[in-house]
Structure 1
Amino acid sequence: MKKYPILVLVLGLLGLILFQKELVMPLVNQVVKSDLFLVDTPDKGDIAPISNDMSNLAFKHCNSEIKTRVGNDAQLAFAEKPLNAWDTGNYQFVINGTVEITSNATGTVLKKYVCKISYKKGTDNEGVSDMANWSIDGLGGL
């Protein structure tokens, strides 16, 4: 062993490569092909930006969350519509918008934000206007 450290290193690397190729990757491929992570929902989502009632409500709820997080430290002025809104499927939305923030410390600043929001009740549209039925999964850019 001490005489051939390079040989041991090369054989070890070859062993790891064979282990990954012959054992790990076939297992990963079987998991990917299975329905393990499949979510069956009527809301399939789309890669193109959308504008519908649900995306507009998601935009309003994101704006409410921003108001809550900023508090009374600054005045906020939101755009009427989001810059873009995407339905990522399973009643999850990504909202891209702008907010004008006015405070004594920084003056007036225009910020772009991204909000990921989910509607918890799925096809039940009775509670869409209630913020308790939505969850903010992420908010960035502020």
Structure 2
Amino acid sequence: MKKYKNIIFILAFIALLLSQYKLVMPFMYKVAASDLFLVDSKDQASQLPISTPLTAIAYMHCNRHIKSELGTDTIVSFPDKALNSWSMGNYDFLIHGEFAITDQTSTSATKNYTCRISYNNGDDQEGILDFDNWSIIGLSGLK
């Protein structure tokens, strides 16, 4: 058996590669081409930074969330517009902005942040100004 150890290993490796090539990959291509991952939405994704009324509202809600996270001990001020905003499609947005923060010792600093936020009601735009209809998925840059 020791004599055939390398040959068995090579044959097993070739069998693994062939099974992946003939069985696994065609299945993966069919799954990727199917409608399994299709999300039908009026909101289209953009690879370039954009500024739309929806991104402005998303920016406003991210700022509101940041103010609530930092508490009442700090004074926070935001510019009128985000540095960059991206629509990721299906009412998911990525907001890159900055804010000026002043703490109790009157130390002032400017911080950058990134906020990923999602509108929960999809194509129904009626409650877009209500913060309860939005979900903060991620926020970085506060610390």
* TM-score normalised per structure 1: 0.89
Q: In the alignment, what sits opposite 1:124?
A: 124
- Within 5 Å, which residues of 2 pair with 1:65-84? 65-84=65-84
Q: In the alignment, what sits opposite 1:8?
A: 8
Q: Distance in 1 between matches of 2:73 and 2:44?
A: 40
Q: Which amino acid in 2 is paired with 1:74? A: T
Q: In the alignment, what sits opposite 2:109?
A: 109
Q: Distance in 2 between matches of 1:97 and 1:50?
A: 13
Q: Which amino acid in 2 is paired with 1:116? A: R
Q: Distance in 1 between matches of 2:98 and 2:66?
A: 11
Unaligned regions of 5+ residues in structure 1, if any? Answer: none
Q: Distance in 1 between matches of 2:2 and 2:71?
A: 66
Q: In the comparison of the two structures, how many residue pairs are matched? A: 142
Q: Distance in 2 between matches of 1:47 and 1:96?
A: 14
Unaligned regions of 5+ residues in structure 2, if any? Answer: none
Q: 1:106 to 1:24 in 2, by over 3 A?
A: farther
Q: Distance in 1 between matches of 2:115 and 2:56?
A: 13
- Could you say what the CA RMSD is over the residues aligned between the two structures, in angstroms? 1.9
SS of the residue corresponding to residue 68 of structure 2 reads helix
Q: In the alignment, what sits opposite 2:85?
A: 85
Deviations 1:2-29 (A, max 9, x none): 2333323222221211111111000000
Q: 1:22 to 1:105 in 2, by over 3 A?
A: farther
CA positional deviation for 1:104 = 5.1
Deviations 1:78-137 (A, max 9, x none): 122100111111111111101222335893332211111111122222211110011111
> Where has structure 1 moved over 6 Å in runs of 4 or more?
none
